[in-house]
Amino acid sequence: MGENSKIEWCDHTFNPWIGCQKVSPGCDNCYAEAMMDHRYKRVQWGPHGERQRTSDQNWKKPIQWNAQAREFRKENGHRPRVFCASLADVFDNQVDPSWRDDLFALIRRCKKLDWLVLTKRPENIEKMLPSDWGDGYSNVWLGTTAEDQTRFDFRWKRLKKIPAVIRFISYEPALGPVQLPSNGFLPDWLISGGESGAGARTLKPQWVRDVIADCRRLGVSPFHKQWGSYRNNPLVVEKGMTAREAQQIDAEGKGGGLVDGKLVREFPDRN
């Protein structure tokens, strides 16, 4: 439940517990549900499902990463980034509040790690933060998913009010175009990506180009993770290549990840 991660925008994943429920269209093909409920029968997903805390041994892994953080930074040029939680939601109403207290205690203890906390429930953040949150913990980045403009408008309106050293948007799976506001408060970082796996829905390449252009114009760091499927890759959609031909040119992430021949994978300045 916590290992060196294959996710391009983090170094480790840590799951303090497992289980969630769907809240919007972006959840329809949830990979965590498919893996933890359908394949492994680990937990039941949904409003009447359970939330299962992970093992004590798993909870010790961030402590190990924290102890190794100085050497990691020397080798990689940045602080270790930990995605928390890929198989759950920290701000889920159905989670035992004492588990969340334990998680924030662990985050406070592991000060050399940057914790990337991503939620679909930004409306819950303020009431579920620890009492000493203040202007935000220096090692916590707060993010929310936004698969289309409707979800972006609703969720960013709430997230932007919460103090944090970094605020970010995960535009993944991208299910419709998203335009950033031309004025007002903006996220520090935006991750884009297409849906992968069985039944993956379409991502139009121009959606990604347009939101990256918004980021460039407005000073937001863009990070395009993947196209999700070669059916979405512009080499196939616009150049007429086969998936195999496109893969020979672009093997970055699922379905490739190049945007007009270049990797767009920037990180915000946490200082």
> Could you report the per-residue pLDDT of 128-143, keeping only the tens digit for each?
999 999 999 999 999 9
The answer to the question of residue 27 being in a domain is yes
The answer to the question of residue 229 being in a domain is no
The answer to the question of residue 187 being in a domain is no
Mean pLDDT of the chain: 93
The pTM for the full model equals 0.93
Query: Of all residues in the chain, what percent carry a pLDDT higher than 90?
Result: 82
Residue 28 is part of which domain span? Answer: 12-171
User: Does 95 or 27 have the greater pLDDT score?
Assistant: 95
User: Which residues have CB under 8 Å from 56's CB, separation 6+?
Assistant: none
> Residue 213's pLDDT is what?
98
The answer to the question of residue 117 being in a domain is yes
Domain tally, the chain: 1
Calculate mean pLDDT across residues 6-31.
Answer: 88
Residue 94, both tokens: 């159905």
Partners of 170 in the beta sheet? 145, 191
Q: What is the pLDDT of residues 60-80, one digit of tens each?
A: 999 999 999 999 999 999 999
The answer to the question of residue 108 being in a domain is yes
The answer to the question of residue 205 being in a domain is no
> Residue 2's pLDDT is what?
47
Q: Evaluate whether 232 touches 255 at the Cβ level (below 8 Å).
A: yes
Confidence of residue 189 (pLDDT cuts 50, 70, 90): very high
The answer to the question of residue 67 being in a domain is yes
> Residue 39's pLDDT is what?
54
**What is the rounded distance in angstroms from the CA atom of residue 126 to the CA atom of residue 27?**
23
The answer to the question of residue 97 being in a domain is yes
Whether the bond into 85 is cis, omega within 30 of 0: yes
Confidence of residue 37 (pLDDT cuts 50, 70, 90): low
CA dihedral 225, 228, 229, 231 (to 10 degrees): -80
Residue 40: is its pLDDT beyond 60? no
